Amino acid sequence: MIAFMNALNNKKWWPYLFIAPSVILLVGFLFYPIANVFILSLQDYNPTKPYANGFTGFDNFTQIFTGDKIFYSTLVISLKWVLSEVVLQLLLGLILALLLNQTFRFRGLARAAAFLPWAISGVITATMWSIMFNEHFGVINDLLKRIGFISQNMAWTANPSTAFGSIVTAELWRGIPFFAITLLAAMQNIPGELYESCKVDGGGRWRSFFSITLPFLKDTIILTTLLRAVWEFNNVDLIFTMTGGGPANMTMTLPMYIANQAIKSNNYGYGSALTVIGVILLTIFAALYLKFSGFGKEE
pLDDT in tens, 3-39: 555 655 666 777 777 788 888 888 778 788 888 888 8
Answer yes or no: are the C-beta atoms of 271 and 262 closer than 8 Å.
yes
- Average pLDDT along the chain: 85
Distance CA 175, CA 90 (A): 9
Helices (H) and strands (E) in the chain, counts: 15, 2
Whether residue 50 is preceded by a cis peptide bond, meaning omega within 30 degrees of 0, is: no
pLDDT in tens, 70-121: 999 999 999 999 999 999 999 999 999 988 888 888 888 888 888 888 888 8
Rounded to an integer, the average pLDDT of 247-251 is 88
Alpha carbon of residue 246 to chain centroid = 20
Distance CA 162, CA 156 (A): 5
Domain annotation for the chain: domains and CATH numbers: 69-266+273-293 (1.10.3720.10)
- Return contacts of 41-45, CB within 8 angstroms, 24+ apart: 41/269, 41/272, 41/273, 41/275, 41/276, 42/269, 42/273, 43/269, 43/272, 44/269, 45/267, 45/268, 45/269, 45/272
Q: Tell me the one-letter amino acid at 171.
A: E
